[in-house]
Amino acid sequence: MKKEYTITVYTENQIGLINKIAIIFTRRKINIESLNTSPSEVEGIHRFTIVINETEDVVRKLSRQIEKLLDVLKVDFNTDEEIIWQEMALYKVAADVITEKVKVERLLREQGARAVVIRKDFIIFECTGQREEINNLIKTLEPYGLLEFVRSARIAIIKKSDGFHNKVKDFEYRVPSEALVENEFLDQNEGIFSM
């Protein structure tokens, strides 16, 4: 059964890697719902957060293909229940309509939003939250003429993970000629590391 999975990819900071990862999805005609890439807490290591709707079997195979890429250090995949995730959205609305018709204070309080820019001609609100929360604010603002809307890709933290920081440090400190110890998360199928 298909459901939403969040794939977390730790990579070297290499030109073209986003393309290499994207190819793995396009080759199988799988649509990426959301993709975020940014530096991680470790210098030189980037973190991709990719959201897709697929079966666990397909996600597992995809993750193995991604982890096979030369510049990829590790891949995890999780269901929504296993992660804390957020998106951010910006909403632009005409200032006059809002100030006349909406009780802004109440709106901000109820929707967990805040105003980031207030100008004579428009106001920009920001909301951070899960899909439902972001969609709720769209619904609220739409009747008053939502001029522009943008939402970010998902970012997520895996609940059970201790982070990748120590793991990467371990990689870095290893003597180059030492035999590699890999797939050390193989035995933890029930835990966070599914690879």
Partner 1 sequence: MTANPAQNIDTKDKIVKQATGSKALLDALIQEGVKTIFGYPGGAIMPVYDALYDYNDQLEHILVRHEQGAIHAAQGFARVSGKTGVVFATSGPGATNLVTGLADAMIDSTPVVCITGQVFAHLLGTDAFQETDVINITTPVTKWSYQVTNAEEIPHVIAKAFYIASTGRPGPVVIDITKNAQLQIFDYQGYEKCLHIRSYKPKPEVRHAYIEEAAKVINEAKRPFVIYGQGVILGNAEQEFRAFIEKGNFPSAWTILGMGAVPTDHELSVGMLGMHGNYGPNLLTNECDVLIAVGMRFDDRVTGRLDKYAKQAKIIHLDIDPAEIDKNVKSTVAIWGDCKETLPLLTNLIQKNENKDWLQKFKDCSIKETEKVIFPEQNPTSEILTMAEVLKYINEITHGDAIIVTDVGQHQMVACRYAQLNKTRSNITSGGLGTMGFALPAAIGAKYGAPERQVIAIIGDGGFQMTLQELGTIMQANVNVKIIILNNQFLGMVRQWQELFHHNRYSFVNITSPDYVKLASAYNIDAKKVDKRAELKSTLKDILSHDNPFVLEVMVGKENNVFPMVPQGRGVSEIILSKEEL
Contact residues for partner 1 (CB under 8 A)?
Answer: 11-12, 16, 19-20, 23, 27, 57, 60-61, 64-65, 67-68, 70-73, 171-172, 174, 176-178, 180-184, 186-187, 195
Nearest approach in angstroms of CB 137 to partner 1 is 39
Nearest approach in angstroms of CB 52 to partner 1 is 17
- When the beta carbons of 21 and 158 are compared against partner 1, the nearer one is 21
Count other C-beta atoms under 10 Å from residue 36's C-beta. 15
Nearest approach in angstroms of CB 45 to partner 1 is 9
To which H or E segment does residue 150 belong?
strand 146-151
CA-nearest of 119, 95, 105, 5 to 57 is: 5
- When the beta carbons of 16 and 29 are compared against partner 1, the nearer one is 16
Nearest approach in angstroms of CB 195 to partner 1 is 7
| Residues whose CB falls within 8 Å of the CB of residue 55, separated by 6 or more in sequence, listed in order | 1, 2, 3
- When the beta carbons of 18 and 94 are compared against partner 1, the nearer one is 18
- When the beta carbons of 61 and 151 are compared against partner 1, the nearer one is 61
CA-nearest of 130, 148, 57 to 94 is: 148
> Residue 143 to residues 62, 96, 103, 146: CA-CA distances in angstroms?
42, 14, 14, 8
